[in-house]
Structure 1
Amino acid sequence: MEILSSRVLVRSHDPERARAFYRDVLGLAVHREFPGGTVFFLGQGFLEVSGTSTERPTDATQLWLQVRDLRRAAEELADHVVRPARREPWGLDELWITDPDGRHVVLVEVPADHPLRRDTRQ
């Protein structure tokens, strides 16, 4: 199987409010819009907010977004923070926010000395 593209689908109790959050609060750029949905650029992928759901999201699925400056993100998103930034045992700095449906969005900064930043080429 060859994967050509991918995206995360988000169903919301209030899709317009969810779209406004991802567009206006997080500042994600719009890739495309269609009747009933919006697809946002999400780094190297896409986030599609479309359809509705009457069920609340669970912690079984979270969005993981790498940011350049976690301190700045914390300041900009202070009203949405549910867990302050901290260094995790695996070495990443993480801050948790929620979207309008209560879905956890994990914002991550990779510290300069973390293995993800090292050039492992020989």
Structure 2
Amino acid sequence: MDVLSSRILLRPRDLERSRRFYRDVLGLAVYREFGPPDSPGMVFFLGPGFLEISGGHSPGTDAVPEAPADSEGPMIWLQVRDVRAEHERLAAAGVTISRGPREEPWGLIEMWITDPESLRIVLVEVPEAHPLRRDQRT
């Protein structure tokens, strides 16, 4: 398999609320919009990947597929320059912060938040001395 691009797909129950969260609160840049002008799907830049927020249910129905109660469900991993600065900004914006910034045993600084649909998002800072900052090729 030769993967040329990737994106995370979300089908929220409240499309407008999720679009506002990713565009206005997190500040993700819009790559493109598609679909009906009064309720467009949006694709956001997400580092080298993409995040698509579009229709919350199958066309012609009001049903939204539910994940099993015991499912871990999807998560989004976002690398940022300064987790603590994002913590302050997002807390001031009223974002639900599940766990504040802390250094993990593996050396990354992580903070966990949730979006309006309770999707877990991990914000990650790679400290200057962390191995991810160095070219590991020999």
What TM-score, normalized to structure 2? Answer: 0.81
Count of aligned residue pairs for this structure pair: 122
Q: Which has the larger radius of gyration?
A: 2
User: 1:17–1:56: structure 2 CA closer, same or farther, 3 Å change rule?
Assistant: farther
* Equivalent residue, structure 2, for 1:52: 56
Distance 2:7 2:136 in 1: 28
Partner residue in 2 for 1:105: 121
- Between Structure 1 and Structure 2, the one with more strand by share is 1
Are 1:92 and 1:108, in contact at CA under 8 Å, matched by a contact in 2? yes
Match of 2:60 in 1: none
1:4-19 aligned at under 5 Å gives the runs 4-19=4-19
Which 4+ stretches in 1 moved above 6 angstroms? none
The within-5 A match list for 1:61-76 is 61-76=74-89
3-state SS in 1 of match to 2:85: helix
> Percent identity among equivalent residues?
61
Instruction: Please say if residues 41 and 54 of structure 2, whose CA atoms lie closer than 8 Å, have aligned partners that are also in contact.
Output: yes
In the alignment, structure 2 segments of 5+ residues that lack a partner are: 58-63
Q: Provide Cα deviations, 1:49-91, integer angstroms capped at 9, x if missing partner.
A: 0121533695332100000011110011112211111111111
SS of the residue corresponding to residue 48 of structure 1 reads: strand
**Counterpart residue type for residue 73 of structure 2:** A
1:37 to 16, 38, 41: 41
- Out of 84, 98, 103, the position equivalent to 1:82 is 98
How far apart are 1:121 and its partner, in Å? 4.4
Q: For the residues of structure 2 that align with 1:121 and 1:59, how far apart are their CA atoms?
A: 33
Deviation of residue 11 (structure 1)? Answer: 1.1
